Amino acid sequence: MEKPPLPNDEDGSVLAESRSDTALVAADEEGSAGADGPEDDRPAWDSKLQYVLAQVGFSVGLGNVWRFPYLCHQNGGGAFMLLYVLLLLIIGVPLFFMELAAGQSIRQGSIGVWKHISPRLAGIGYSSCMVCFFVALYYNVIIAWSLFYMGNSFQYPLPWEQCPVDMISNQTVKECASSSPTSYFWFRKALDISDSIDQSGEFNPIMTGCLLAAWALVCLAMIKGIKSSAKVMYFSSVFPYAVLICFLIRGAMLDGAVEGIKYMFYPKLEIWGEVQVWRQAATQVFFALGLGYGSVIAYSSYNPVHNNCHRDAIMVSGINFMTSVLASLVVFVVLGFRAKNIALDCVPELLAPLGILHNNVYFIMRHPPPGVEGTGLAFIAFTEAMALFPASPFWSTLFFLMLLNLGLSTMFGTMQGILTPLMDNFRVLGRHKTMLTVCSCILGFFIGLLFTQRSGNYFVTMFDDYSATLPLIIVVVFETFSVAWIYGADRFLDDVEVMLHWRPPVIYCYLWKYVCLLGMVGLLAASLLRMVFKRPTYTAWNHTTGSETSLEYPGWALVMLSMLIIVASLPVPIGYLLSFLRGGRSLPVEEGEIEPPRERYSKCNSAEPEPNNHHSPLDEDRNRPRSTFLPLGAEHYRLLPQQEEGEEEEDTGL
């Protein structure tokens, strides 16, 4: 996309409207020229539908199916939903819109976006890449579990419907008799889990094979970038909705479904007074939209520069919330059916002395058995309920195929948050996209073997709880501060207005500067205090008693989880410190890394100079011209008078 020469430009230089600084330099060095040059080299979505499906597929993940329903169950049902919507509107949507606008305009990954604002902020992008890598390691293990269960669903009866019999004693296996068939199949047959994280044990060969298959699926779908993964999105993003609707219709016909729905929507407003509930709601908003991963920025960077990203932010956020509600309806309908069956079988004689027989179903809903949290909801509680369905293998296969697609669509976005920034900032990697994708998947598989040993589930819990939460909150705090205060919220909104051809509501300025920033700082403080005052624990399986128990992490595990947090967060201060020590100049360019020419153009107006009301502190330190954050139209730029002759020749080559 080339523009006509500026009227007031004596040498008739041509500027690319939406081309990133990275693409400019890459074109110079590779000798690209003309209208068919560097802009055409960057992939783009074939249609708006592809892009929307990709963003929805990334944001709607496994957490919508098991974490959101669990939080509703634990925190007052309808009251938690109201709190979630409130935080989604005042924190989630503004931050989501901010990331979409930044990626779409600068057309680079997370590293390039924050380096574009200031070289001192380049560490934000590297932290996002590290967190994405950690998440990808354990997230693909969950996909491997789904593959294992889906493969075991093609038999009747389902292998987790009944306890196995010991061939020697001809009696039911003690571990299964002490727990339940679904718990025994999950902990013993699928995971072959040890009693603690200290007992690593040997590798689980079946689960190792499933992990290899999971990484192979991710690699094949992403081997050609968004061109290949976008085609997979047509199925992986839409299929889960068809399955959820089928489950809802089938579940609504079950005995106990009404009780489950009533329990879900009944509001307990008193929980609004608990700080813990606010922390959990804010955390769920934060992770549901995928803020801080860099994947949102990466996906939006392949959009046309004038795409209405404000509408996209509201639409994707709304779809995400409605998906969580739909999944919660399915879960509560099934749990209501499960509770009704348990009540009819055994509750009367247990609760008769208490005189609450008429509330037996609600009593079971309020006091669910172990395993209704996190992965246990899908692999224990839900499988137990599906075993009671007519044609149970069909519903089980459908359910785990849905989990597989939910996981894959999120995995695609997570990997894109790693690959796009690296390819945008390192020429060598950008020239070998296929090799980078394959090597990343191979590396992920070999490191992921940590999760396929007998204690692997405990490491999945560790990574899920500590490798992403604190580092991502830190990343988003710096993102918000850099846009709202370093670059300037008003200035950012001015640039968005030029990009969209209309001005978003001014309330976004106040939300970015105060509400979002204070909310994220409060969430960071609450998470840190929780870690300091409550020693980290994990839930272990005791094979002797056939039950779960809470154990404290040993010393070496505490060091490991601390290192996860430090390694993921460290690029932010390191990037700032290195840039500060070099007097605010850009970091030295490593071999193969692209150095954007950030001082070559300055925003101006053909009628009168633009008042410099939005200088950032970092600009004042440098005391030099500042390139605008979001690309504007050709009429807003002119070549700086101090441009050297060599630079003019370089631009002419474009």
Binding-site members are 57, 60, 64, 320, 406
What's the CA gap between 81 and 79, in Å, rounded?
5
Alpha helices in 346-468 (DSSP H): 347-351, 360-366, 375-376, 382-386, 392-425, 427-431, 433-448, 456-462
80 Cβ contact partners less than 8 Å away, ≥ 6 residues apart = 71, 72, 271, 277, 281
Token reading at 15 = 């500027």
153 neighbors 185 (Cβ within 8 angstroms): no
Return the amino acid letter for 26.
Answer: A
Task: Find tokens 């609504």 and name the residue.
Answer: 252
DSSP 3: P
338 neighbors 256 (Cβ within 8 angstroms): yes
What's the CA gap between 414 and 158, in Å, rounded?
33
What's the CA gap between 472 and 294, in Å, rounded?
10
Token reading at 54 = 């990709």
What's the CA gap between 158 and 351, in Å, rounded?
31
Residue from 15, 102, 443, 85 nearest 301 by CA = 102
Task: Decide: helix, strand or coil at residue 317.
Answer: helix
Phi, psi of 539 (to 5 degrees): -95, 120
Q: Tell me how long the chain is.
A: 654
163 neighbors 175 (Cβ within 8 angstroms): no
Binding residues for Na(+): 57, 60, 64, 320, 406
Sign of CA dihedral 625, 627, 632, 634: positive
What's the CA gap between 5 and 15, in Å, rounded?
8
250 Cβ contact partners less than 8 Å away, ≥ 6 residues apart = 389, 395
What's the CA gap between 562 and 72, in Å, rounded?
30
CA 165 to chain centre: 42
DSSP 358: G
123 neighbors 572 (Cβ within 8 angstroms): yes
Task: Decide: helix, strand or coil at residue 543.
Answer: coil
Task: Find tokens 């979505």 and name the residue.
Answer: 45
Cα–Cα distance list, 482 to 89, 224, 476 (Å): 21, 33, 10
Pairing of strands 601-603, 637-639: antiparallel
250 neighbors 45 (Cβ within 8 angstroms): no
What's the CA gap between 517 and 526, in Å, rounded?
14
What's the CA gap between 373 and 371, in Å, rounded?
5
What's the CA gap between 478 and 162, in Å, rounded?
52
